[in-house]
Amino acid sequence: MTDIKTNLRRHALEKRDLVTPHEAHEAAAAIRAAGLALVEALSKGEKPVVSVYWPIRSEINTRLLIDALCDRGVAVALPVMSAVREPLVFRSFSPGDDLAKGPFGLSEPSADKPGVDPAIVFAPLAAFDRKGFRMGYGGGIYDATFASLRKRRSVTAVGLAYAVQEADAIPIEPHDQKLDYIITERETIRCC
């Protein structure tokens, strides 16, 4: 299964890398609008803690979504990585906060920011299918994170991707955690 997943990941990331700057800008605006709408629908008038990743490489730019959530008074957290296959921890973030370089070039809040447990987690991915399975970069970090969070509380897992990253089916393994929603620049998919 490793070769199948490696080839699928490589192909999906190659397609993502071909997104033009103009398309990326439009996708970021669409993700902002759809992400806000989903958070509002899931919140039912409350203000949950929402985790959004800080984008790297050719990932969908989430900075517009982060700013929009903060503008609406939503508590935002960024993920912090400790080790491969280990759950992420989440620290509070506000626009303007300094970010430190973490593993794999990730931008993370500094250690003095308070830790929080998010109710909604927006996650990056390499590929996805409509059943809600995602393929990340191969470290199993988000699978471990969702499994850990779901043992403690209800959490909504939302994958963010370009539509070109969709696959017919993601090969799954016992540790794989399903997403509840996937948002692309074209649509919001509710995964059942």
Tell me whether residue 96 is annotated as binding: no
Tell me whether residue 141 is annotated as binding: yes
Q: Which amino acid is at 53?
A: Y
Tell me whether residue 138 is annotated as binding: yes
Tell me whether residue 135 is annotated as binding: yes
Tell me whether residue 140 is annotated as binding: yes
DSSP conformational letter for 162 = -
Say how far apart CA 157 and CA 121 lie, in whole Å.
5
Tell me whether residue 7 is annotated as binding: yes
DSSP conformational letter for 118 = -
Tell me whether residue 179 is annotated as binding: no
Tokens 């109710």 — which residue? 119
Tell me whether residue 9 is annotated as binding: yes
User: Quick one: tokens of 123?
Assistant: 């996650």
Tell me whether residue 101 is annotated as binding: no
Closest CA relative to residue 188, chosen from 40, 58, 30: 30
Tell me whether residue 69 is annotated as binding: no
Tell me whether residue 105 is annotated as binding: no
Tell me whether residue 153 is annotated as binding: no
Tell me whether residue 23 is annotated as binding: no
Binding-site residues, please?
5-9, 59, 134-142
Known binding site for substrate: residues? 59
**Which residues are known binding-site members for ATP?**
5-9, 134-142
